[in-house]
Chains A and B, each alone.
Chain A
Amino acid sequence: QSVLTQPPSVSAAPGQKVTISCSGSSSNIENNYVSWYQQLPGTAPKLLIYENNRRPSGIPDRFSGSKSGTSATLGITGLQTGDEADYYCGTWDSSLSAYVFGTGTKVTVL
């Protein structure tokens, strides 16, 4: 059972926007940086966002991250069919002394 909770699925039409929440606690999200990973079907996870809102080189600005208190949010604008994937949040948990991942969210483009 993950300590970071995400909605199982979100969906929207092409060109629209989706947001994915990641809910945690003071021992993880509130006091540590959050990262986000995209996992396309049958492939390895890929870093999408690090340090709450920073994008690695090559990641389009359609992807954005934010954090407030014990929750973090990933936003995807201008949704494309190629964005259909599973998305995971991740952060360090100071109480568990472990890196923890969220439960994962499947994004579907209608």
Chain B
Amino acid sequence: QVQLQESGPGLVKPSETLSLTCAVSGYSISSGYYWGWIRQPPGKGLEWIGTIYHSGSTDYNPSLKSRITISVDTSKNQVSLKVNSGTAADTAVYYCAREIRGYSHYFDYWGQGTLVTVSS
């Protein structure tokens, strides 16, 4: 059974970098699949942030691309997300998920999510 667990600071100051890690268990990232990040501001809907393949190739939401970096560490079996120049608008629950890509796109396994608040 694939399991994902997000972790990172719950509070980030404005203009600083938000850094999160997603630890994957039950599946080796180096074996394949895509791994995505999705966020949800309090009381609002879901927003796709970006996706990385086990090889390291990335695909970012154009609306966030200038501030986003997603990386993969196959030795630790984890994926990381960095959001630069944080603002209050980045306050959200951040989820990592396994993404199925090909002729179809969907997220089949999700982490429990971690709340990040951007505030001074």
Contact = CB atoms under 8 A, between A and B. Distances in A.
Interface string A71-110: 0000000000000000010111000111111111000000
A33 B106 contact: yes
A27 interface: no
Give the interface residue-count category, chain B. Answer: 20 to 34
Interface in A45-91: 45-47, 50-51, 56, 88, 90-91
Nearest to B109: A47
B105 interface: yes
A72 to B, nearest CB: 13
Contacts of B14: none
A101 B110 contact: no
A35 interface: yes
Give the interface residue-count category, chain A. Answer: 20 to 34
A11 interface: no
Contacts of B48: 98-101
B73 to A, nearest CB: 23
A50 B100 contact: yes
B31 interface: no
B46 interface: yes
Contacts of B61: 98-99
A48 to B, nearest CB: 10
B62 interface: yes
B62 A96 contact: yes
Nearest to A4: B45
Contacts of A88: 45-46
B33 interface: no
B24 to A, nearest CB: 15
Nearest to A43: B112
B8 interface: no
Interface of A: 2, 32-33, 35, 37, 43-47, 50-51, 56, 88, 90-92, 96-104
